């Protein structure tokens, strides 16, 4: 279900004031008028309906009604461990698509990084611009898809900084698992093999065009990442990211209904 994500909390009277792009989206794009209601997600995670009181002077003023409870997280989703995507930055607008799809799938965090094969390099200002653009895309994707799970995206970082981030994450969880999609069959593993121990946190690492270099693959393995090859088809990086995220989420959501048979 579509729901508008309110970025500023309502005042003590439960009234919100929306300006600029928020006003344009609701009034010009969705054509909402005074007296109409729309579903919204407040900054504290509460679901509500907002009734529009006024749209005068390019300001939408609305009052929060009783909490709707619509779009609440299912029991399966409540126990789903957070999933993070470590994405080697690809060329062009592919990162935009990856951010959008990851948000629609309920990914907890996206960490774009400069891989050895990344052909994109960003300086300080362009790095900030890209990050802000991805944040806007993620917000739009959550509003369109109805995802109630917040997806954060980090500023693009180096490979070294990415591994440092991974080390900090490992300390926060008891059973973290990290999977690296690779173009070479480094190990005979599968998603089910790697996820059968009921992890409480999952990371998927995907390379840019060309995948990971041998050096990067080696460093990932040293950091505890499990290598995985996706069959014989060569996938685009944006396809591989979506494939991996949905595979991990599906297995974790349905883990009570499957079992791993002992290997012969």
CATH number at residue 42: 2.40.240.20
94 lies in the same domain as 198 = yes
Number of domains in the chain: 2
Longest dimension (CA), the chain: 72
Q: Which residue has the higher pLDDT, 53 or 259?
A: 53
Q: Are residues 38 and 158 in the same domain?
A: no
Tell me: do 97 and 154 sit in the same domain: yes
Residue 260 confidence (pLDDT) above 70: no
Query: Between these two residues, 223 and 231, which has the higher pLDDT value?
Result: 223
Domain presence at residue 263? no
User: Tell me, what CATH number does 221's domain have?
Assistant: 3.40.1280.10
Residue 245 sits in the same domain as residue 166:
yes
pLDDT tens figures, 140-153:
888 878 777 889 99
What mean pLDDT is predicted for residues 207-211? 90
The predicted pLDDT at position 187 comes to: 64
Say if residue 89 is in the same domain as residue 17: no
Report, as an integer, the average pLDDT of 218-229: 94
Res 200: pLDDT: 93
Instruction: Please determine, for residue 92, whether its predicted confidence score (pLDDT) is greater than 60.
Output: yes
β-strand partners of 111: 86
Q: Are residues 127 and 48 in the same domain?
A: no
Same domain, 162 and 213: yes
Mean pLDDT of the chain: 87
Which tens digits make up the pLDDT trace of 94-105? 999 999 999 999
pLDDT band at 232 (very low <50, low <70, confident <90, very high): confident
Selected residue with higher pLDDT from 177 and 149: 177
pTM score, whole prediction: 0.79
Q: Distance between CA 67 and CA 58 in Å, rounded?
A: 26
- The verdict on residue 262 lying in a domain is no
Reported confidence tier of residue 248, pLDDT bands at 50, 70, 90: very high
Which of 46, 67, 88 is at the close of a domain? 67
17 and 133, same domain (yes or no): no
Q: Are residues 116 and 228 in the same domain?
A: yes
The answer to whether residues 54 and 89 belong to one domain is no
Instruction: Write b or e for each residue in 109-145: b if 16 or more Cβ atoms lie within 10 A of its Cβ, otherwise e.
Output: bbbbbbbebbebebeeeeeeebbeebeebbbebbbeb
| 149 and 48 belong to one structural domain | no
CA distance 107 to 112: 13
8 A C-beta contact, residue 4 and residue 146: no
Q: Is the pLDDT confidence value at 264 over 70? A: no
Last residue of a domain, one of 45, 67, 89: 67
pLDDT of residue 198: 87
Residue 264 belongs to some domain of the structure: no
52 and 108 fall within a common domain: no
Last residue of a domain, one of 15, 48, 67: 67
State pLDDT tens for residues 46-66: 889 999 999 999 999 999 997
pLDDT reported for residue 150: 85
Print the domain residue range for 13: 4-67
Q: What is the mean pLDDT of residues 153-177?
A: 95
């Amino acid at each position: 279900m579509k729901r508008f994500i309110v970025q500023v909390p309502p005042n003590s009277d439960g009234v919100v004031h929306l300006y600029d792009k928020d006003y344009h989206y609701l009034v010009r794009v969705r054509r909402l008028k005074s007296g109409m209601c729309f579903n919204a997600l407040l900054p504290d995670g509460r679901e509500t309906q907002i009734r529009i009181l006024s749209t005068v002077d390019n300001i939408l003023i609305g009052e929060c009604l009783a909490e709707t409870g619509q779009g609440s997280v299912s029991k399966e989703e409540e126990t789903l461990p957070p999933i993070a995507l470590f994405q080697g930055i690809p060329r062009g607008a592919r990162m935009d698509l990856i951010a959008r799809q990851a948000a629609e799938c309920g990914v907890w965090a996206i960490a774009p990084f400069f891989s050895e094969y990344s052909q994109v390099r960003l300086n300080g200002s362009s790095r900030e611009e890209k990050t802000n653009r991805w944040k806007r895309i993620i917000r739009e994707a959550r509003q369109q898809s109805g995802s109630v799970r917040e997806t954060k995206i980090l500023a693009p970082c180096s490979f070294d900084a990415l591994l440092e981030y991974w080390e900090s994450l490992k300390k926060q969880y008891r059973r973290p698992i990290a999977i690296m999609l690779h173009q070479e069959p480094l190990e005979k593993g599968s998603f089910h093999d790697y996820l059968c121990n009921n992890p409480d946190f999952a990371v998927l690492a995907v390379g840019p065009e060309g995948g990971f270099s041998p050096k990067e693959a080696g460093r990932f393995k040293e950091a505890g990442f499990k290598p995985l090859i996706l069959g014989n088809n060569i996938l685009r990086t944006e396809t591989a990211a979506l494939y991996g995220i949905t595979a991990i989420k599906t297995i974790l959501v349905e883990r009570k209904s499957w079992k791993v048979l002992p290997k012969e």
